[in-house]
Structure formats: structure tokens, C-alpha cells
């Protein structure tokens, strides 16, 4: 039997008073000793794994994961809600920091997926519902024409991608009011077409690029979208190549060029005769129409932090580096699949340090390893019902976040599906009769741990 007294994270690493930290460490040891005598053996359990895999999302992540799994000879069901594959990257010209063509990278993957013998492709289709448990899932897919398809599979890859923030809600930027105030996505389309022109068809002499539009802002998204700075630097390089005489201005809050060779990319761009201006992310920035005496169409007003004064930046075109955000249906997907979300509506890993799977090939490798073994270990700390005292009120069924509890009408008691149960303890705390308990977290174990913690007895 094992019970850990975590004196490192809970004592030595978080306290500066060594005397008090030592007292707390002793209390934690007492609590663990008190609890461990009431432990019961937990039995390892395994379930067989269906070798097929469901991939939700046909962007670069979904395509890569699907190909990795399918190339090993395993069946893959790839679901894409739109009518085309590629996601956001299909609208990108060149990638940073090496300026490789996104299309040259994406097109072979799309062709490979469309012609792969082990990939079943479902376009303009959405996941309606998912049931089952790890290793053995079932789903119903609904296509655009209303047809339903039932599938069975053992693993799921969620790669639903991102969408761009709508800057129209920030009135000071004039997006939608001034035709030459455009988003980064719209500018990418210009680059793909090979022409950088204003709405009047002229080459802009002054181009302003504004960072952090909708991100790192308490009114919209407080997080950093992580790609905007590097993409803006890429734009400056591309503009300088296409329009050698143009004046280029980059207005940024903090230049975050992290990643291999990205800092070098920043250095190269800074030597391309680009003017960088720093602003406070919470300070107002306003785009207005230029006056008749100004030799430009627009003016960008901002407080420049480095010189400490308010400046007006001339512009014939303004590029808004819009934030990345989750799709509107991300909550429905997370509930269907049974994964958690952070406060910014993004999916989170099981554990960011101890169990991260955030890249396509890493996810595919994890799945292939599970398929190769043929079975997967399931959680041993599950809930269990004492049928003798269960009153059949079904409170546990209502509060279970994993739909792991059902009601046996014949016996009049609740029944736990121990494969679906994650041992969260919600049902145990809600049960009015105490009929349901969670293995390894029984009342006796918890209370004895508290008694040991509060005891004045020295170790």
C-alpha cells in the first residue's frame, strides 16, 4: 500500500519559513501514515482497443495525424465540417521562419489523404454524438444533406483548429469603415494573388501593421495568439521584396519571436528598413481618415512608448494582426469527446508537463502504441454502489459529468459503468445516503487523513 506525503511541492518549494515548513511536513507525514492503514488493494483492469481511429478536423494537424496512422495500415475516419481540406494554412502564402510555400507543403498531404486506401473521408460532416469509452467508441455523423452515418473506433484525435478574431467590434480601428483597413487573413490572399494593392488598385506607399488586435487585451482575449508577431515580421519582409520603396511601420506591444531561428528572423527583418514602434497594449489606438494636406489616406494614432510621445503614423493600407480563437462549436465538441477546456475555450492536455499530447505526430504515435498493445489500462479508482442502502433517488446520475451511471429499473438501484467512470468523486459527495463511494477516496480514508493532519502528536 502506498500514500505519498508531498513535502517537496507542498512544503520546501512553497515556504520561506523553514521552521513552519518542517512542522507542516511532519503533519503531512502523520496524515499519510494515518490514511495508508485503511487502503485497499486496487485491481488493474484492461479493455480491448478497436484499431480504427476518428480524426475530427481536416486542417494540417488532422491531415498529418490521419496520414501517420493510416500509413501504418490502420483505418482512419477523417471528418471535416467544411467543403475543403487544409484549414487556416490553406489561406497562407509562405511560412516563417524559412519562407517555405504553405501550398507546396499542404497540397501533397491533401492528395495523399484523398487517395489513401485506409482513410474514409467525410466532407461537410459534423460529429453529432459520441458514446462509449476509451478503446471502444461509437458516433453518429451528420452530413450537410442530413444523412447519418454510424461509426465504431477505439481512439479519437481532436484537431478542430482555430478561427480569426473579428476586429469589427473594435470601433477605433475602423475595420469595415475604411476599405484599406484589412485583416492579416485578407492580406494573405493578396500575397497569394501576387499583388499588394489598395481598394482603388494602387500600390500603397505607406503600410502600417498593428499587432495584438483582439489578443492580450482584457476586453477581448487576454492570451497571446503566439503567431501574430512572426507573421507580421514575415509580412514586412514580403512587402519589402514586392514594394522596395514603400514605408513599412510595425506597431507592437511586445515582440515575441520565440522558436527555432525566429529571433534571427526578427533581426533580419529589422535590417529591412522597417520602423518599429512600441505601444502599451491597454492604450487606445485609433485609425482615422487623413486630412487633405497629408500625403496618405489614413493616420494611425498611438502612444509610442520608446520615445514617450503620441505619434501619427501615415498609412495607405493598415494590416490588423488579428487574434486566433476557438470555433463557436468547441464546447459541443469537448462535451461529446469528454475532454476539458481552459478559460480561453481551448482544449487542454491531460497534464501539460507529465502527459502532454499537443502535436499531430505525437498524438498518432500514442494511438499507434495503444493499437499495437491491443488493450488499454483503465482507471482503477472508480465509484462503486452499495445496493443495500441505495434508495434509487438517482441524484448520482444527474451530477455525473461522464454519464457513467445508469439506473437499474428492475433492482431500483444505480449502477456504475466502471469503464466510463473517472473517479472524480462528484457522485460520492452528492449521494444523500452514502450508498456510493469512490475507491481509494472513502470517507474512512479521508477522515483518518484529516485526523492525522490535525493531530498534535509528533512523528
Per-residue pLDDT of 78-95, as tens digits, reads 999 999 999 999 999 999
* Domain over 164-325 is classified CATH 3.50.50.60: yes
Tell me which residue of 106, 108, 121 sits closest to 59, measured CA to CA.
106
pLDDT-derived band at 43, boundaries 50, 70, 90: confident
State the pLDDT confidence band at 360, using cuts at 50, 70 and 90: confident
Q: Locate cell 491491443: which residue?
A: 374
Q: How far is CA 47 from the centre of its chain?
A: 28
pLDDT grade, residue 385 (50/70/90)?
very high
3-state secondary structure of 363: helix
Section 182-190 average pLDDT: 97
Residues 199-226 pLDDT 10s: 999 999 999 999 999 999 999 999 999 9
Global pTM reads: 0.84
From first CA to last CA, the distance across the chain in angstroms is 20
State the CB neighbour count (10 A cutoff) for residue 241: 10
Q: List alpha helices for 281-425, DSSP H.
A: 330-337, 360-373, 395-399
For β-strands 125-133 and 413-416, DSSP reports them as: unpaired
Instruction: Tell me the CATH architecture of domain 48-162+327-373.
Output: 3-Layer(bba) Sandwich (3.50)
The reply to whether 8-44+380-454 and 48-162+327-373 are identical in fold is: no
**Domain spans of the chain?**
8-44+380-454, 48-162+327-373, 164-325
Q: How confident is the model at residue 339 (pLDDT cuts 50, 70, 90)?
A: confident
Name the grid cell of 230: 512572426
CATH of segment(s) 8-44+380-454: 3.30.70.20
Q: What is the CA radius of gyration of the chain?
A: 28
Spell out the residues 6+ positions from residue 364 whose beta carbon is closer than 8 angstroms to its own.
64, 65, 68, 69, 157
Containing 27, the helix (H) or strand (E) segment is: helix 18-36
What crossing angle do the helices spanning 228-242 and 262-270 adopt, rounded to 10°? Answer: 40
Helix (H) or strand (E) holding 46: strand 45-48
Q: How many CB atoms lie within 10 A of CB 95?
A: 17
Amino acid at each position: 500500500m502506498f500514500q505519498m506525503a508531498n513535502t517537496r511541492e507542498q512544503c520546501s518549494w512553497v515556504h520561506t519559513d523553514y521552521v513552519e515548513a518542517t512542522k507542516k511536513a511532519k503533519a503531512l507525514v502523520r496524515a499519510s501514515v494515518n490514511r495508508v492503514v485503511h487502503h485497499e488493494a486496487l485491481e488493474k483492469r484492461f479493455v480491448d482497443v478497436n484499431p480504427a481511429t476518428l480524426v475530427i478536423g481536416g486542417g494540417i494537424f488532422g491531415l498529418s495525424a490521419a496520414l501517420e496512422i493510416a500509413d501504418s495500415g490502420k483505418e482512419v475516419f477523417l471528418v471535416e465540417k467544411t467543403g475543403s481540406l487544409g484549414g487556416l494554412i490553406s489561406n497562407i502564402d509562405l511560412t516563417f521562419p524559412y519562407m517555405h510555400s504553405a501550398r507546396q507543403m499542404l497540397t501533397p498531404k491533401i492528395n495523399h489523404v484523398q487517395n489513401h486506401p485506409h482513410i474514409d473521408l467525410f466532407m461537410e460532416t459534423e460529429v453529432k454524438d459520441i458514446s462509449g469509452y476509451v478503446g471502444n467508441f461509437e458516433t453518429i455523423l451528420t452530413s450537410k444533406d442530413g444523412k447519418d452515418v454510424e461509426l465504431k473506433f477505439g481512439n479519437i484525435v481532436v484537431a478542430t483548429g482555430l478561427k480569426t478574431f473579428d476586429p469589427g467590434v473594435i470601433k477605433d480601428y475602423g475595420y469595415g469603415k475604411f476599405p484599406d483597413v484589412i485583416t492579416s487573413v485578407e492580406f494573405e490572399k493578396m500575397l497569394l494573388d501576387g499583388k499588394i494593392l489598395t481598394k482603388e488598385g494602387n500600390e500603397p506607399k505607406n503600410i502600417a501593421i498593428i499587432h495584438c488586435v483582439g489578443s492580450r487585451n482584457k476586453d477581448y482575449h487576454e492570451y497571446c495568439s503566439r503567431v501574430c508577431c512572426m507573421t507580421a515580421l514575415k509580412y514586412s519582409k514580403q512587402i519589402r521584396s514586392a514594394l522596395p520603396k514603400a514605408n513599412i511601420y510595425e506597431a507592437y506591444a511586445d515582440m515575441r519571436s520565440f522558436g527555432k531561428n525566429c529571433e534571427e528572423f526578427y533581426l533580419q527583418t529589422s535590417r529591412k528598413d522597417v520602423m518599429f514602434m512600441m505601444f502599451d497594449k491597454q492604450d487606445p489606438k485609433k485609425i482615422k481618415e487623413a486630412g487633405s494636406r497629408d500625403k496618405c489616406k489614413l493616420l494611425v494614432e498611438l502612444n509610442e512608448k520608446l520615445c514617450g510621445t503620441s505619434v501619427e503614423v501615415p498609412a495607405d493600407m493598415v494590416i490588423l494582426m488579428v487574434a486566433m480563437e476557438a470555433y463557436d462549436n468547441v464546447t459541443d465538441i469537448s462535451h461529446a469527446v469528454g475532454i476539458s477546456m481552459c478559460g480561453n475555450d481551448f482544449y487542454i492536455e491531460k497534464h501539460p508537463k507529465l502527459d502532454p499530447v499537443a502535436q499531430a505526430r505525437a498524438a498518432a504515435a500514442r494511438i499507434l502504441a495503444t493499437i499495437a498493445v491491443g488493450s488499454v489500462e483503465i482507471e482503477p479508482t472508480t465509484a462503486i454502489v452499495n445496493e443495500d442502502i441505495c434508495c434509487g433517488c438517482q441524484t448520482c446520475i444527474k451530477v455525473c459529468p461522464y454519464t457513467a451511471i445508469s439506473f437499474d429499473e428492475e433492482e431500483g438501484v444505480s449502477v456504475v459503468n466502471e469503464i466510463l467512470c473517472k473517479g472524480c468523486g462528484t457522485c460520492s459527495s452528492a449521494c444523500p445516503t452514502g450508498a456510493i463511494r469512490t475507491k481509494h477516496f472513502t470517507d474512512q480514508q479521508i477522515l483518518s487523513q484529516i485526523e492525522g493532519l490535525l493531530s498534535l502528536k509528533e512523528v
